[in-house]
Amino acid sequence: MSRRPTILAIESSCDETAAAVIQDGHILSNIVASQDIHQRYGGVVPELASRAHQQHIVIVVKAAMDQAGITSDQLDAVACTQGPGLMGPLLVGLSFSKALALAWDIPLITVNHLQAHVLAHFIEEPRPSFPFLCLTVSGGHTQLILVHDYLQMEVIGETQDDAAGEVFDKAAKLMGLPYPGGHLIDRYAKEGNPQAFSFPLADVPDLNFSFSGVKTALLYFLQDALKKDDHFIEKNRADICASFQHTVVQMLVLKVKKAVKQTNVKSIAIAGGVAANSALRDVLNKWAHHEGIQWFAPRMEYCTDNAAMIAMAAHVHYLNGHFATQDVVPEVRQKR
């Protein structure tokens, strides 16, 4: 076993085909191929995602190896996402990684996608110290995680229905914006008044979240408004986006504050695609500063789905001697 391992990592849990190479904990390359085909359908179509992974995977892996300047004989292991995610897409990445491990006679490492989102914080400085609280908010997941150590993580809160990114995307769709519309809501919201309209804050116990209520409230609000004025959305887009975004951000931040109080942590971190949201970053940043709490947000390319975070997790697994066997299968759902 090398103490300074070189690992090729592959991510294929949803609609991004990604590969990265890590050497001794340093990322040498990070390649992502996104799948535009889903825009036409207003959401990820699993069957089409699987096909696109099949088309992209060889090219993406080759690009990652080339960019890193690494050849197969220099690799100590190959790693991939085991789950959670979509079955077809996971099967493509896992089967491909198994084949590479066999062909190159190197160990296989499987990684939990949600652990990897958290470990993205260790790719670059500044790195949080343990324990810290991580809010992971993406198109598929919304979790509050108490991170005790690299691989010791406790989910202390999660969504009971839609994920935060999903609710942004569904709201965007209701307003006639293309998929995925989260970043567009963020962009329009910058010009709008967050107090223009009010939507209900979900009352969910403990540290859990629920976003289906605010989504339905927006639907009924728009239906009513459009009965009176066909052009209501175009005329008020910025205000609707700002007000809706304000409500979702408030729901997230309320639980972060509650979690910090309960756990007494001194550092908070944010991960996942919704970590790009400027209002969420702004509110958390200001609040953390005011409370004297350290605040961490990885670079955007490490927030959205990527293979560098899978590589970082694989590095930790390698040093701990965690390897997978050839009979390993995808895990579509998060293990409880």
**What is the binding site for ligand KG4 (CB under 6 A)?**
14, 138-140, 165, 168-169, 180, 182-183, 186, 272-274, 276-277, 304-305
Under rule CB under 5 A, residue 305 binds Zn ion: yes
Torsion 251-257-260-262 (CA) sign: negative
**Beta carbon of residue 186, minimum distance to ligand KG4 (angstroms, whole number):** 4
**Beta carbon of residue 316, minimum distance to ligand KG4 (angstroms, whole number):** 20
298: amino acid identity, one letter: P
Under rule CB under 5 A, residue 11 binds Zn ion: no
Which residues 6+ apart lie within 8 Å of 284 measured at CB? Answer: 135, 253, 256, 268, 270, 295
Cβ burial of 253 (10 Å; 0-12, 13-18, 19+) is middle
Closer to ligand KG4 by Cβ: residue 180 or 298: 180
For tokens 């975070």, the residue is 309
Residue 8: name the closest of 76, 58, 60 by CA: 76
Which residues 6+ apart lie within 8 Å of 67 measured at CB? Answer: 21, 28, 29, 31
Q: Is residue 95 a contact partner of residue 328, using CB atoms and an 8 Å limit? A: no
| Interface stretch with Zn ion, choices 45-53, 189-197, 222-230, 300-308 (CB under 5 A) | 300-308
End-to-end CA distance of the chain: 31
Judged by beta carbon distances under 5 to 8 A according to partner kind, the member of ligand KG4, Zn ion, none in contact with residue 50 is none
d(C-alpha 180, C-alpha 193), whole Å: 23
**Beta carbon of residue 152, minimum distance to ligand KG4 (angstroms, whole number):** 23
Which residues inside 122-141 make contact with Zn ion, applying CB under 5 A?
A: 138
Under rule CB under 5 A, residue 166 binds Zn ion: no
Closer to Zn ion by Cβ: residue 158 or 305: 305
**Beta carbon of residue 156, minimum distance to ligand KG4 (angstroms, whole number):** 20
Alpha helices in the chain (DSSP H): 46-68, 87-104, 113-119, 164-174, 182-189, 212-228, 232-263, 278-291, 300-303, 308-319
**Beta carbon of residue 193, minimum distance to ligand KG4 (angstroms, whole number):** 18
The count of residues in the chain is 336
Under rule CB under 5 A, residue 29 binds Zn ion: no
Judged by beta carbon distances under 5 to 8 A according to partner kind, the member of Zn ion, ligand KG4, none in contact with residue 173 is none
d(C-alpha 181, C-alpha 151), whole Å: 33
**Beta carbon of residue 225, minimum distance to Zn ion (angstroms, whole number):** 34
**Beta carbon of residue 68, minimum distance to ligand KG4 (angstroms, whole number):** 23
Closest residue to ligand KG4 in the complex (CB): 273
Judged by beta carbon distances under 5 to 8 A according to partner kind, the member of Zn ion, ligand KG4, none in contact with residue 61 is none
Under rule CB under 5 A, residue 159 binds Zn ion: no
| Interface stretch with Zn ion, choices 173-181, 184-192, 255-263, 301-309 (CB under 5 A) | 301-309
Cβ burial of 286 (10 Å; 0-12, 13-18, 19+) is exposed
Judged by beta carbon distances under 5 to 8 A according to partner kind, the member of Zn ion, ligand KG4, none in contact with residue 182 is ligand KG4
Judged by beta carbon distances under 5 to 8 A according to partner kind, the member of Zn ion, ligand KG4, none in contact with residue 29 is none
**Beta carbon of residue 314, minimum distance to ligand KG4 (angstroms, whole number):** 18
Q: Which residues here bind Zn ion, judged by CB under 5 A?
A: 138, 305
